[in-house]
Amino acid sequence: MNGIILKSPKILLFVVLILLMFMNCNETNKIKRIKLGHGLDTNHPVHKAMVFMAERIEKQSTGRIKIDIYSSQQLGSQRECLELLQLGSLGMTKVSSSVLESFAPEFEIFALPYLFRNDDHRFKVYEGKIGRDLLHGLVKYRLMGLGYYDAGNRSFYTRSKLIKSPEDMTGLKLRTQESAMAISLVNTLGGAATPISWGELYTSLQQGVVDGAENNLPSLYTSRHYEVCKYLSMDEHTSIPDVILISHLIWEKLSKNEKKIIQEAVDASVKYQKEIWQDETKFALKKIQDSGVKIIYPDKAAFIKKIEPIYRSYINKRGGSLLLQIKGVK
Ligand code: GCU
């Protein structure tokens, strides 16, 4: 039989063509599975937005691309997820821009306190040229930024002391994200910054390793830190976005159409997250209030005055050009 095939060039060509078609068919039918690891709880609005994104990708790719989401630091801390992304061992992640800072220093800008005038200003920066250029610039760090999820405003909460002004922060051990800018903010305000990963924070608060922390309302609620921290001071010092990323190594292997499907799904999920954020924030506030947390809205002027040196040292280190561009966004 083999002899007949080899002797007849036509039959040989036919067999080769069938084999090639079969291989090709297999390639197009192969399902691409991309793992996405992040640190938030499954009830968090940012997690919900990523589920929305994954469903959309699966639908638009008619089931050929599947995103498997691992929440709550199951695949490691945010920093570890970024390292795995650079190696191509993890496909996607969502991290706070604060954690991204030590990989891409340009992202420090978003940790500057009282950077934005209001919500509208913030969204214009994320969604406009400045935000996009920052995301695309990540390629030089072997990362690919796909979009920003809003993370509202961050405020301080503590176990046993109400922060009415920066003076009340003196000596308080406050958890920060693993970021130089976040550490400098707490120290400049008079506290003692203690960087701890998000996943370890509940236990650290419970055991009194730290006296408090800071975050937005949906994160304070979904992490259940309000069970331990009974004082919340809505000073709204920073608005630090979450960033959704894909490994550059994996991105480069995707077809043009696959890239389009993923980017469009991310964009739609960013819009969806923005829509649900307001309601989720109101819901979180109500739950936190109902649990007996004392909430105050302090005068922000004293905080704004006290953080001035952070701007001076930022400009010394990074120059003022990006800052001016952001301030100039109307
Ligand atoms: C927010 C943010 C997370 C971040 C967390 C933190 O919840 O959305 O990405 O991990 O703050 O303070 O660590």
Question: What one-character-per-residue DSSP string does 133-161 give?
Answer: HHHHGGGGGTEEEEEEE----EEEEESS-
**Which of 177, 200, 237, 244 has most ligand 1 atoms within 8 Å of its beta carbon, as the pocket-test mutant?**
177
Mean pLDDT, the chain, integer: 94
pLDDT of residue 30: 87
Q: Quote the CA–CA distance of 228 and 290 in Å, as a whole number.
A: 14
* Poorest-pLDDT segment among 26-40, 45-59, 156-170, 259-273: 26-40
Q: Which residue has the higher pLDDT, 275 or 20?
A: 275
Query: And the tokens for 241?
Result: 């976005």
Nearest residue to 217 (alpha-carbon basis) of 297, 147, 148 = 297
Closest approach atom of ligand 1 to CA 214: 12
Residue 18: pLDDT band by 50, 70, 90 thresholds?
A: low
Share of the chain above pLDDT 90, in %: 91
CA distances from 326 to 98, 135, 320 (A): 17, 15, 10
Within 6 A (CB) of ligand 1 lie: 39, 46, 78, 96, 151, 177, 198, 215, 219, 242
pLDDT of residue 208: 98
> Which residues make Cβ contacts (< 8 Å) with residue 271, sequence separation at least 6?
none
Residue 100: pLDDT band by 50, 70, 90 thresholds?
A: very high
Nearest residue to 109 (alpha-carbon basis) of 322, 312, 308, 316 = 322
Locate the DSSP E strands across the chain.
32-38, 65-70, 92-96, 143-149, 154-158, 173-176, 192-195, 212-215, 231-238, 242-247, 294-296
Closest approach atom of ligand 1 to CA 149: 8
Query: And the tokens for 77?
Result: 């801390």
Measured by CA distance, the residue closest to atom 5 of ligand 1 is: 198
Nearest residue to 74 (alpha-carbon basis) of 101, 53, 50, 93 = 93
Tell me the three state secondary structure of residue 291.
coil
CA 178 to chain centre: 13
Q: Which residue has the higher pLDDT, 165 or 21?
A: 165
Whole-number Å distance, alpha carbon 135 to ligand 1 midpoint, is 18
> Which residues make Cβ contacts (< 8 Å) with residue 75, sequence separation at least 6?
35, 37, 81, 84, 90
Residue 226: pLDDT band by 50, 70, 90 thresholds?
A: very high
As a whole number, mean pLDDT of residues 299-306 equals 98
Closest approach atom of ligand 1 to CA 176: 12
pLDDT of residue 29: 63
Q: Quote the CA–CA distance of 219 and 30 in Å, as a whole number.
A: 37
